[in-house]
Amino acid sequence: MKVETTMMRGARVLARRGAAVLLAAAVLAGSSGCVGGTAGTGGGDAAPAVTAEQDSARERVADLARAIGGERPSDIQGYARAAVAEVSVNADAIELIGIDDQQSLDVSKPFGSLDLRVPVDAQDAASGAQGETTEQPAAYCFRVVFDYYGKVGEWATTDGVESIDCPPGAAPVTPEPDTSIRYVLAVNARESAREVLLAAIQSGRLPSESDVVAEISGLLEQPESELERAAPPQVLIDDAERIGVAMGDADGCVLVKSENGRVLDVRPAPVLLQPGELGCSPSTALADPETLRPPH
């Protein structure tokens, strides 16, 4: 009897241990099923949805930074003005909420940053399977650092677009107005150059380059805007006593020369006026006509 009782007790112990193992497995399985099920509800989707919304906002800011990257302003205020103008043209909701001017004189180093806020569209808030709305912030904010060449970091990516906390109650800021002087072609630039060169031919004497500059400058009509000036003439006199005159830049260039007793307008292919090509210069005015033809 004692042997039989001992065997029965051992069997009951083993049975209880087996039941405990089965119960533990069931609990783990139930817990695992709960986590998997939550992924289909609002709670499980919260983090991925917010991340996707933030990534989308970051891409929009990076696109804006690249769009204004070709402006080449001399300071961060120039980029701020370009950002506001770009947002206005495209009716984008991105807001400029901060400008940091670092006053760097080295074009290879950052000279400031812009803080930008991207409001979250309430209609874009993700909802779970059980109707639970994903909690999202009212906006995402980013800081973009700029140097002379544009946003820092790898150009084609969101590199350099840093997430920051949105300052509570921050209002959009207005960049400083552009007070820099811009040089534009005078409306009578070509006529002034031709008049001075023709007078030099008729006088029978060769003027100095500085004399030609002064005489043309005295004839130029100044723009009405207080922030604009007539582009000054550049003059070159070569060994053959030809006089070349240039005014303006690649976007608007006047070239005139005097040669063999005649005053001639010089009109090269527009591509040759671009930086890296012949450019808008008096040497271009005196260049061999064959070199002024379109390259293709």
Per-residue pLDDT reduced to its tens digit, 73-96: 878 999 999 999 999 988 788 999
Q: Work out the pLDDT band at 48, boundaries 50, 70, 90.
A: low
Are the CB atoms for 220 and 192 separated by under 8 Å?
yes
Give the CA dihedral 29, 30, 35, 41, nearest 10 degrees: 140
Q: Work out the pLDDT band at 5, boundaries 50, 70, 90.
A: very low
133: Cβ contacts below 8 Å, ≥ 6 apart? 42, 125, 126, 127
For 267-285, how does the pLDDT look when each residue is reduced to its tens digit (9 = 90+)? 999 999 998 899 999 999 9
The predicted structure's pLDDT at residue 49: 57
The predicted structure's pLDDT at residue 134: 54
Who has greater pLDDT, 2 or 209? 209
What is the C-alpha separation between 181 and 227, in angstroms, rounded? 5
176: Cβ contacts below 8 Å, ≥ 6 apart? 77, 80
What is the C-alpha separation between 4 and 32, in angstroms, rounded? 42
Q: Work out the pLDDT band at 294, boundaries 50, 70, 90.
A: confident
Q: Which of 85-89, 124-128, 223-227, 260-264 ranks highest by mean pLDDT? A: 260-264
The predicted structure's pLDDT at residue 180: 84
Q: What percent of the chain has pLDDT over 90?
A: 59
Position 288 pLDDT exceeds 80: yes
pLDDT, mean of residues 38-55: 55
Are the CB atoms for 163 and 210 separated by under 8 Å?
no
Which segment of 103-112, 144-153, 228-237 scores lowest on mean pLDDT?
103-112
What is the C-alpha separation between 162 and 41, in angstroms, rounded? 31
Position 30 pLDDT exceeds 70: no
Whole-number mean pLDDT of the chain?
Answer: 81
What is the C-alpha separation between 157 and 49, in angstroms, rounded? 21
The predicted structure's pLDDT at residue 236: 98
Who has greater pLDDT, 244 or 29? 244
Which segment of 14-28, 69-83, 142-156 scores lowest on mean pLDDT?
14-28
Are the CB atoms for 144 and 113 separated by under 8 Å?
yes
pLDDT, mean of residues 18-32: 37
Which segment of 21-30, 95-104, 152-161, 251-260 scores lowest on mean pLDDT?
21-30
The predicted structure's pLDDT at residue 187: 97
